[in-house]
Structure 1
Amino acid sequence: MREDSTPRRRLAWAAGVVVALGAIAAVWMAIPPRLDEAKTPGFSGTAEAGLVAKGRYVAQLGDCVACHTAPGGPEMAGGRALETPFGTIYSTNITPDPQQGIGGWSYAAFDRAMRQGVAADGHRLYPAMPYPSYAKMSDDDMAALWAYLRQGVPAVAQANKPLGMHFPFDQRWGLAYWDAVFADKTPFVPNPQKDAIWNRGAYLVQGLGHCGACHTPRGIGFQELAMSDMGSKGALFLSGAQVEHWNAVELRDLWTVPDTVEMLKTGQNRFATASGSMTDVILHSTQHVSDPDLVAIATYLKSLPSATPEAALPAPVAASAAASATETPVAAYTSRGGLGYMQFCTDCHRPDGGGVKGVFPALAGNPTVAAKDPATLIHITLTGWKTASTGAHPRVYTMPAFARLSDAEIAEILSYVRTSWGQGAGAVDAAAVADARKSLDPKIDKTPFETPRLARLLDAPNAAQLVRGMRLNAETHILLPKNVGNDLNCTSCHLNAGTVADGSPYVGVSAFFPSYAPRAGKVITMEDRINGCFRRSMNGKPLPPDSDDMKAMVAYFDWMKGTTKKEDKVPGRGVGKVDPKIVPNVANGEKVYGAQCAVCHGQSGEGLKDAAGRTVYPPLWGDRSFNIGAGMARTYTAAAFVKRNMPIGFHEKFPLGQGGLSDQDAVDVAEYFTHQDRPDFPDKVKDWPKDPKPKDARY
């Protein structure tokens, strides 16, 4: 599905139109037509409630609110700024206010504006208003929409903002010539050779849905090259387009009917998740469309033959079928892009590119990944992403902007993604990222903590050992099953293989060892500290200190040390602190857990597994979780971690969108999950032999 908003795509159209108008305006002059209101029948009286309700549905089909409601402003009162390179167009007030809105218009004036792009006072509308598509509306739908806008929308006396276009692009009269040359206002005509479902879908896609405004390529005058699937250029209709570093993907024969219905209804399906401002389209429009109409739309789109058919799509995976799980590509550990992906992307998109169903999109089979042009992939990486809030998936998940990474780093990671799951898609060039960055001017995270780059492991003389050490952190319970007694990995607590600020990073840590540990009551080594995690957090057995795996883990820690000295202070070290004077509210903690944590860690703290039974997110209590001797079993330690690192995908903080709960909520939810049943720690009696025991210790 398209990644950009209807207003954004229309703006590119309008920007192109005004370029053409600039040339026309230099030669032509015209007198705009005016409406003789005296000869135009009005639309008087009170419409039936059913007609108003139908009009509301028509407005949702047309997504009128997308352009005609400013962010935070009253519905349909206009004022949304539509930026173009030649100035700003502001959407207009279409509430029934008689002075500022359309309350003084006749039905005929409204019908003409919708179908011909001419307002009641005769001025021409910029084709950011998709009147060539709305020209296909039936008379019944137009009348219903009019009834809704007159009687179903509150009148708002908000003045329309003046046009902010620069000369000569502010000269609307030239639009008459654009209309004469380019505007196809052919009414919708049902195809007698197709059934009612197909024709309903064709009507909605070509008309009210105005899908071609984004998904159809444009010509020299920036007009849609085809307004339907008929005619000599019909094969171009919905064949995909690009604007402003976004790809509006080809919709012709893209997915199965159920897959398309699921996307439009919920904002995601097994192949992709809507992103960018397409989320607004789904929020305000398609999630409200009836199931029969969604099936009709999907049936019509599926029927359109593609000149570039996608590779055969995989069959839906049954809930009980886990045998077809994919594996992590070998290049994940042998290439800079692979290591970059493993560092920054796997928490959400998973090592195998499978994503997390209902939460984070899969990359395997995703049309954005496989697109010939990687523009959308680059755009999302630089500027971030949000899911649509729908009835099926009300919670919004985010991907932060990765503009902090260099153009080369982004190109390497995206090239790895496309090589691994792009069905033959080409590599991404750093120059393309640089061009997009220049145009998009993305916001760059500037926190002082500099995330170490795992890609640089390959530059070290002991690269193989370091990569092994990194993998032992990321895949601990898989690679060391004899030493790990639960479903946790080191990265369950040390995010992104220990590279995230306030996520218990490994940066500089080995410089501080050997050091005195109050819990042990003695000076311990780096190996002792690692084995403490194996015994407590992973409820397992220690690694032999002289084993190759222990040496690999220590080597990885030493590489993370960099130039840090024992007397240095490392910004972002540890997990921070939470005021221990905060009194926990367990009842609120249970509510917070249900709202913020259960989707990843399970309603009963059991964690989340994929179709193959592999752990995606670890359990927080029960036999497969950490034992009572772990630091995370303490309320205020857990609360500090949660405050800064959980949940992920919650907002736009680099690199995981992590953290965001209040101190109170963090303490409450920490108290709730730390005091659930979990394994015992037999050696607990030996802890804190010399120093005071923390008040939140579980024993």
Structure 2
Amino acid sequence: MKRWIKFPLIGLAAVLAAAAATLAFANHRSQSRMTRTVALPAYALALPEDAASIERGRYLYQSRGCTDCHGQDGAGRVFINDDGIGLRLAGPNISPGPGNVVAHYKGEDWERTLRHGVKPSGQPLLVMPSEDYARWTDADVAAVAAYVRQMPPKSGGPAVLQLPLPVRVMYGLGLMPDAAERIDHGLPPPQPVPEGVSLAHGQYVANSCLGCHGQLLSGGKIPGAPPDWPDAANLTPGAGSAMPRYASATEFRTMLRSGRRPDGSRVSIVMPFESLARMSDTDIDAAYLYLKSLPPRPVGR
């Protein structure tokens, strides 16, 4: 074989072999990361049964994104199904019915799942957006658990987690962190703040935006999102911010409930409008006040 042909072929073969080895390693590593143990101390959490707590749990369940993955009835639902890339995700049944995954949950298990993104077994919950709930108070974590526990029983099954090879490779290489990696597990539980249109309550409400819009709320690529999803908007007053579109809390409230901007254009359907539309005026107005108070930051994490 001519030398000028032989050497490039040898180089190509080496590159292909290295690529195959990297893919194999990353795929194997993804399995290890999915089944790793996240060590957390048990956190005693009493689960209430009073009507006020259950009503608070109902409100949070319906307005903070729980229905997007688990459905209004808690039986679970498919929330991503992209046959083009082989990605299918479905939330599990968490109602008290047959096939539910929380039948033996105690208070500490609910706390670990919601705040830390970790199963009772210690393994990470890969698609649980616990970074949105990590700063919930004890009372709110317990209220959601109390509401779910008294739901009418529905039949369902475990979560569906069908990931295409590129996603497994990215996860295996650490390019796609799960919620348990993004959460600071050493932070103490937050203390309650009075509910009202205030900066303190607005910050508490805006914690539910962190999973998509980032810890600084400056938007950018959503971690773990399908490749065709748009970037999350910058919610600070910085360059590229979405907030100048909303001159008042009323306009901001209308957008969250209609999915449309003041000019009539539609906001990306990636936004969980099914849940956001159920937020109270107080929560929305407080969040608007807080977002308007943030220091300007450029788009991205």
TM interval, shorter chain, is 0.5 to 0.7
Q: Tell me the TM-score normalised to structure 1 length.
A: 0.32
CA distance 1:302–1:125, shift in 2 (3 Å): same
Rounded to whole Å, the distance in 2 between the matches of 1:116 and 1:174 is: 22
* 2:153 counterpart letter in structure 1: A
Secondary structure of 2:277's counterpart equals helix
Matched with 2:131 is: 132
Matched with 2:96 is: 96
17, 32, 35: which one aligns with 2:37: 32
Rounded to whole Å, the distance in 2 between the matches of 1:278 and 1:83 is: 13
Matched with 1:200 is: 201
Secondary structure of 1:288's counterpart equals coil
**Structure 1 residue 49: deviation in Å?**
1.4
CA distance 1:173–1:107, shift in 2 (3 Å): farther
The share of aligned pairs that are identical, in percent, is: 25
The residue correspondences of 1:186-585 to structure 2 (distance < 5 A) are 186=187, 197-206=198-207, 209=208, 211-216=209-214, 227=215, 237-242=216-221, 244=228, 246-253=230-237, 254=243, 255-256=246-247, 257-278=249-270, 281-282=272-273, 284-307=274-297
Matched with 1:638 is: none
**Contact 1:98 1:104 survives alignment (8 Å):** no
Secondary structure of 1:158's counterpart equals coil
Aligned residues: 253
**Structure 1 residue 115: deviation in Å?**
1.4
Matched with 1:572 is: none
Rounded to whole Å, the distance in 2 between the matches of 1:302 and 1:249 is: 14
Look at both structures and tell me which one has the larger radius of gyration over its CA atoms: 1
**Contact 1:34 1:121 survives alignment (8 Å):** no
**Structure 1 residue 43: deviation in Å?**
5.4
* 1:145 counterpart letter in structure 2: V
Matched with 1:557 is: none
**Structure 1 residue 250: deviation in Å?**
1.7
**Structure 1 residue 204: deviation in Å?**
0.9
Matched with 2:26 is: 22
Q: Tell me the TM-score normalised to structure 2 length.
A: 0.67
For residues 158-185 of structure 1, what are the alpha-carbon distances to aligned partners after superposition, in whole Å with 9 as ceiling and x for unaligned?
Answer: 1225543367949x9999x966754334
CA distance 1:180–1:240, shift in 2 (3 Å): closer
Q: What is the root-mean-square deviation in Å for CA atoms of aligned residues?
A: 4.1
For residues 243-280 of structure 1, what are the alpha-carbon distances to aligned partners after superposition, in whole Å with 9 as ceiling and x for unaligned?
Answer: 6252432222313333212322443453344444257x
Q: Tell me, which stretches of 5 or more residues in structure 2 are unaligned?
A: 1-22, 223-227, 238-242
**Structure 1 residue 31: deviation in Å?**
5.5
37, 50, 53: which one aligns with 2:52: 50
Secondary structure of 2:263's counterpart equals coil
**Contact 1:79 1:160 survives alignment (8 Å):** no
Bigger shift: 113-122 or 243-252?
Answer: 243-252
**Contact 1:67 1:78 survives alignment (8 Å):** yes
**Contact 1:116 1:131 survives alignment (8 Å):** yes
CA distance 1:213–1:239, shift in 2 (3 Å): same
Rounded to whole Å, the distance in 1 between the matches of 2:280 and 2:97 is: 30
**Contact 1:68 1:94 survives alignment (8 Å):** yes
**Contact 1:68 1:75 survives alignment (8 Å):** yes
For residues 349-406 of structure 1, what are the alpha-carbon distances to aligned partners after superposition, in whole Å with 9 as ceiling and x for unaligned?
Answer: xxxxxxxxxxxxxxxxxxxxxxx9xxxxxxxxxxxxxxxxxxxxxxxxxxxxxxxxxx
Matched with 1:75 is: 73
For residues 296-353 of structure 1, what are the alpha-carbon distances to aligned partners after superposition, in whole Å with 9 as ceiling and x for unaligned?
Answer: 0110111123346xxxxxxxxxxxxxxxxxxxxxxxxxxxxxxxxxxxxxxxxxxxxx
**Structure 1 residue 285: deviation in Å?**
2.0
Q: Tell me, which stretches of 5 or more residues in structure 1 are unaligned?
A: 1-18, 217-226, 228-236, 309-371, 373-699
**Contact 2:137 2:190 survives alignment (8 Å):** no
Ranked by relative contact order (alpha carbons within 8 Å, sequence separation 6 or more), the top structure is 2
Secondary structure of 1:88's counterpart equals strand
The residue correspondences of 1:601-680 to structure 2 (distance < 5 A) are none
